[in-house]
Amino acid sequence: MSELASLSLERHRSIVLAGVSGEIDLSNAEDLRNRIARWVINDDVALILDFTDVSYTDSAGINLLFDLSARLREHGQGLCVILPADSQPRRTFAIVGVGEQIPIFETAADAEKWAGGAPATRPLREGDVAHEG
């Protein structure tokens, strides 16, 4: 069982979507975190973690979330998670209060809407273009 979880990474207009499927535990959480963190660059405004297909996570998965969240916050970047209502990860996150610090959405559309609004928390930089109309 070499790979417990698989990871897909894509970027749309400065929003990174990291889709994880499988199980997250002590054996792979750190590796997943590193692979996701390496993908995010300075220009990104937000990271969406799609955990729709995560069937199990232990506290190592929760540490992964808080760790990524803290790193991104330092750079003014946002983080949210997509999780279906009824799943082991959702219940686990609820118990330790993940939702109080990291927004959790049930659909990709809601997450993207949130992430699209996230730039408000980002300081304006050179090269930013104001939209007209």
Partner 1 sequence: MIGVPLLVRGEVLGVLHVGTLAPRTFTDADAELLQLVAERVALGLHVRLYEQERRMTETLQRTFLPESLPEVPGLRLTSKYLPATDPGIGGDWYDVFVLPSGVLALAMGDVSGHGLRAAAVMGRIRNALRACALEDENPSEAVNRLDRLMELLDVTEIVTLLFGIVDTELSEFRFVSAGHVPPLVIKPDGQSSFADDDWSNPPLGIGHYHPFREHIVPLEAGTSFLLYTDGLVERRDESLSEGLERLRGVSAPMRLSPNPAEAIESAIRSLLDGREPADDIALLLVDLEAQSSGIDLRIAADPEALVTVRRASRRWLSDLGVPRRVSDDVITAVGEAGANAVEHAYGPMGGWLHVLASCEGDTIRVTVSDGGRWRKRHSARGRGSTLMRSVMDSVEIETSDAGTTVTMRLRLPGR
Residue ranges binding partner 1 (CB under 8 A): 1-4, 6, 22-23, 25-27, 56, 58-60, 62-63, 86, 88, 91-92, 95-96
Dist CA 24 CA 57 (whole Å)? 5
Residue number, 88 or 107, with CB nearest to partner 1: 88
Amino acid at 78: G
The total of other beta-carbon atoms located within 10 Å of residue 81's CB is: 25
Residue number, 28 or 77, with CB nearest to partner 1: 28
Question: Which residue, 76, 57, 14, 6, is CA-closest to 39?
Answer: 14
Residue number, 51 or 77, with CB nearest to partner 1: 51
Q: In whole angstroms, how close is the CB of 74 to partner 1 at the nearest point?
A: 22
The backbone torsions φ and ψ at residue 97, rounded to the nearest 5 degrees and listed phi first, read 75, 35
Q: In whole angstroms, how close is the CB of 95 to partner 1 at the nearest point?
A: 5
Dist CA 80 CA 86 (whole Å)? 18
Residue number, 46 or 102, with CB nearest to partner 1: 102
DSSP 3-state assignment of 20? Answer: strand
Q: In whole angstroms, how close is the CB of 99 to partner 1 at the nearest point?
A: 14
Q: In whole angstroms, how close is the CB of 7 to partner 1 at the nearest point?
A: 11
